[in-house]
Structures are given as structure tokens and as C-alpha cells.
Amino acid sequence: MATMEAPPRLQVRLHEGAFKNEPFVDFSKEENVRKMHAALEKVRGQLGREYDLIIGGKRSKTAEKIRSLNPAKPSEVVGVHQRAGKEHVEPAVQAACQAFSHWSHTSVEERASLLFRVGDVMRERKLEFMAWLVFEVSKNWAEADGDISETIDFCEFYAREALRFAKAEPPVQLPGERGTLTYIPLGVGAVIPPWNFPCAIMAGMTLASIVSGNTVVLKPSSDSPTIAAKFVELLEECGMPDGVVNLCPGGGASFGDSLVAHAKIRYIAFTGSREVGLHINQTAAQQQKGQLWIKRTVLEMGGKDAIVVDADADVDAAVEGVAQAAFGFQGQKCSACSRAIVDERIYDKFLEKLKLRVERITIGDPAMNPNMAAVINEGSMNDILRYIEIGKKEGRLITGGARATDAGEGYFIQPTVIADIAPKSTLEQEEIFGPVLAVIRSRNFDHALEIANDTEFGLTGAVYSGSREKLDRAVREFHVGNLYLNRKCTGAMVGAHPFGGFNMSGTDSKSGGPDYLYLFTQAKSVAEKV
């Protein structure tokens, strides 16, 4: 491999003090509303721009393009992107390998300083980044705020974590020896993020990779490549050397499969569907010619998340939590509540209150900040509508159940509640990833926990109960990676709620937690006789 001249040292600018979560924007203040409208207009003026592949810092175009559309207004092009193919895998991996030769030896202080700088600039441009999410993936203002705030949190948290890892010491020092423990980077990683948190998850996996000293080939979702391009532009602006992150939007079956299989790829960080995650795991397990390591997979996959509502629960609080968790961002979260398991003693009362609450949800263009906007694309919309028709046969439609045609030309679906769904039925078992809630009747708390644990997933869950004994039982017996008591099952906060699930929900990577950077490093123990 040709040597590559090391780039100038990054200016070290570290932040003092403990980590604190980024505060959300207060849109009850008219000044912030005006600023958000201004950000939307600024971004609207940039829609339709073309973005290049970025490999080793060099920009290039391809014959085939990816056109990112506004889900709320599909006639509007958000960005035009190059479609990387198999022929781009080798140059992208080689560029990352060359960059790794110097980035892996860059001091942790410099790498952390880059993340702090990115967080600072993103904080200054927060509303602008939020506006890109409004147009590209149809997030309302609050959901966009959560996404960008989490991205800033990852900058701050992972930078501090890298500095903490650099101070690691063996727990025992033997007489006559000096022992050290160093967490060194793995190599070149493939980062394959989803479209539903197109900034936070994309940036989180990328930032964890590079602050640990790795280099990355980033393949964003074809539904959200623009926000990834804007983020890579920001990394470059903040001083990231060429080749540390290589931006390559492309198809999963062409570019993605070849990237995962490449012998020089050391690990794959993926968030997405169960089917794709299992395919990546299988592909990564096959040793390629020249491959010297067992590839590591960091996989976050699906969920079929349940909220259990016990007979002694605060029904109003449970209704609010279920409604928010089921229909926030149109139900397009792996953590979304797609099953409400309700004790038969309060079942009818719960349904009555839930129907009234869901029918207050507003639907429309996210630029105008309704409660719900459009689902991501036409294929997803049709798939969700198919599940709704299955649900109408399996259960009783309470509200919703159709496309929201009065909301505009986009892919709008009414928030849908279907009751009397039986355990093990299609609607109770399969991940829908849309605004569809199945309500299941339970005989008692034992039965509720049995239903809650009856899917192949184990990501998030919640329990509403006034009983300390039952809450403690849930802690022991509800088998999910993220469990919430008397609150909704969405809205994990960096540092407070390390995120990742069990079973077919993934490898329980616990992003935003104190163990996450272990996944992007390997520990080297050195003992020296003194």
C-alpha cells in the first residue's frame, strides 16, 4: 500500500465538565418559531442540489443517480446523489485503509477535539439541520429536534468516552512489572445507517468509529442520503482529514453486499431491518481471501415493542404514553409501541380514552409542524396499508384504517388502532414500522408478561402499574434491552438510557452508553518487567 503523507495536526480544543444532554428547542416561544420558519426557507432554497461521492477527499459523479424525495410532497426533490456500485468498493476501502495508517496514530485528544468541534457547529446550525430532516424524512419539529439533539449528544458523549478509555489501567499491578491496557482501533469499518434517524444514528455510528481511531466507508440509506452528505460536509469543515469518512450512497444488493464482503473491512455497524441485519451477519461470517480477522458486527435491528397496562395503572397516563410511543414519527421507530397489552378489567375504558386521544392527532406537511406527517415512501405506505387490511380481519378497527388523502399528495396514513388482536396473530407478531397499534386483551399480569415476551424481538417495552411488586417482576421477567416503567417506551436519551435490544432486535450494542466504544476497539495488554 502506498504511504500517505500525514495531514496537519488538528487543533486540540477539549471541553471541560461532565456530559449534559442537549436541551430541546422551546417552540412555545414565538422567537424560536420564527427562527425555525427562517431555517425552513433557507433549506427550501437549497433543495434539488446534486451531491458527489466523496472517496479519499475526492469528489466524483456516477451515471446512475439516487433522487431523494420529500415524502410529504413527492414531486419535490430534496437532493440528487451519485449511486455507488461494486466498482466503487475497492477505491473507497483503499482510501479508508490509507487514511487509517495515520488517523489510527492521531492522538485521542485530537480525535475527541474534532467531535467537540462538530458538536459546537451543529449546535449553532441546529434549526437548519432540523429543517433538512423535515424535508427529507418528514419529521415534525419536535422529532427533528430530538434527532439533531441526539447527534450533538453523541459528539459530546463519545468524545468524553474516548478520553476516558485512553486513561484505562489494568485492575492489578504485579510486583516487579508495569502493566498497561490500551484500547486500539480495529481498522476500516462499514457504516450502514437507516433512514428513520438519518442524522443521529448515521452520525453516532460514524463518530464512535472515528473517535476510536477507525476509518469509515459510509453507505447512507437511499431514502436519506442528503442529511448524510450535509454531515460529511460538516466533518470536512471541522478539519477531518481526507479518507477518514468516505461517503458512498448506493444500493444494498450491489454496493452494500460487496462492501460487507470485502476482505479489508474489519467491522460492520448497521441499523435497519431484521432481514438485512441477518444477511449482513451471515456475509460477514464468511472469511474472504486475504482476510486476517473475524469481522465484528454491530447490529441494531427490529422491534415489536409492547406497553403493558395493568389494571391498577393510571389509565390517563398510560393512554398518553401509548399514543405518543405508537404514533410519534408515524410509528417509524424501532422503539415504537406497536402492541398495547391491556388488562381486561380496564380494557374498554382504556380503548375509549385511547380513541379520543388518537383522533386529536393532526396530520399534514411537517413544515407546518403537525403531530404526524408522511411515511417514508410509497412502498412503505403500501406495505403499511396491507397490514391494516390484515388487522381489520384479525381484530376490530377502533380508529383510522386508511390513507389520509386530505393531508396532501404525500404518503400520509391515518393513525390506526385495531383492538381484539389475538396473541401469535400477524398483527401481534410482525414489525409494521408505521402508525398502526394492535391492542391485546390480557387476563392478568402473568398473562400480559407472557404476551409481551412472545415475539422474536426484544428491543423496548414499558409497564404502567401502581404495584411495586409488579414493576419489580417486569424488571426481572420482561425480556427487552430497554425497559421503561410508568412512561412511554420511546425517547431514549444518550447517557441515561444506553440503547440496544435482545434476540432478533440485534447485538444489544447499547449506543449512547459506557460500553459502546468497546465495540469499535480492541484491548492491547502490555506487561513490562521493571
In a domain, 313, yes or no: yes
Number of domains in the chain: 2
In a domain, 45, yes or no: yes
- Residues with catalytic roles: 300, 334
Same domain, 411 and 423: yes
User: Is it the case that residue 119 has pLDDT exceeding 80?
Assistant: yes
The per-residue pLDDT for 2 is: 40
The per-residue pLDDT for 450 is: 98
Q: What digits encode the pLDDT tens for the residues 508-530?
A: 999 999 999 999 999 999 999 99
Q: What digits encode the pLDDT tens for the residues 158-205?
A: 999 999 999 999 999 999 999 999 999 999 999 999 999 999 999 999
The per-residue pLDDT for 8 is: 55
Same domain, 339 and 395: yes
Same domain, 515 and 481: no
Distance CA 150, CA 134 (A): 16
Same domain, 109 and 93: yes
Question: Which of 9-23, 36-50, 337-351, 383-397 is predicted least confidently?
Answer: 9-23
Q: Which helix (H) or strand (E) holds 421?
A: none
In a domain, 125, yes or no: yes
In a domain, 4, yes or no: no
In a domain, 234, yes or no: yes
The per-residue pLDDT for 13 is: 67
Average model confidence (pLDDT) across the chain = 96
Distance CA 446, CA 467 (A): 14
Same domain, 515 and 487: no
- pTM of the prediction? 0.96
Mean pLDDT, residues 13-32: 91
User: Is it the case that residue 110 has pLDDT exceeding 70?
Assistant: yes
Same domain, 465 and 517: no
The per-residue pLDDT for 352 is: 98
CATH number at residue 440: 3.40.309.10
CATH number at residue 180: 3.40.605.10
CA dihedral 430, 432, 435, 438 (to 10 degrees): -10
Q: What percent of the chain has pLDDT over 90?
A: 96
Same domain, 479 and 372: yes
- Amino acid sitting at position 335: S
Same domain, 316 and 434: yes
In a domain, 24, yes or no: no
Q: Which helix (H) or strand (E) holds 221?
A: none
Q: What digits encode the pLDDT tens for the residues 312-323?
A: 999 999 999 999
The per-residue pLDDT for 420 is: 98
Domain hosting residue 469, numbered range = 305-493
In a domain, 1, yes or no: no
Q: In what order do the strands lie in the sheet with 73-82?
A: 49-51, 73-82, 65-70
The Cα-based distances of 333 to 195, 330, 525 in angstroms read: 10, 8, 40
Helix/strand/coil (H/E/C) assignment for every residue in 241-309: CCCCEEECCECHHHHHHHHHHCCCEEEEEEECCHHHHHHHHHHHCCCCCCCCCCCEEEEECCCCEEEEE
User: Is residue 252 very low, low, confident or very high in pLDDT (cuts 50, 70, 90)?
Assistant: confident
In a domain, 152, yes or no: yes
Same domain, 293 and 376: no
User: Is residue 253 very low, low, confident or very high in pLDDT (cuts 50, 70, 90)?
Assistant: confident
Distance CA 19, CA 5 (A): 35
SS3 at position 464:
strand
Same domain, 34 and 170: yes
Q: What digits encode the pLDDT tens for the residues 441-463?
A: 999 999 999 999 999 999 999 99
- Amino acid sitting at position 397: L
Same domain, 248 and 344: no
Same domain, 105 and 231: yes
User: Is it the case that residue 3 has pLDDT exceeding 60?
Assistant: no
The per-residue pLDDT for 1 is: 38
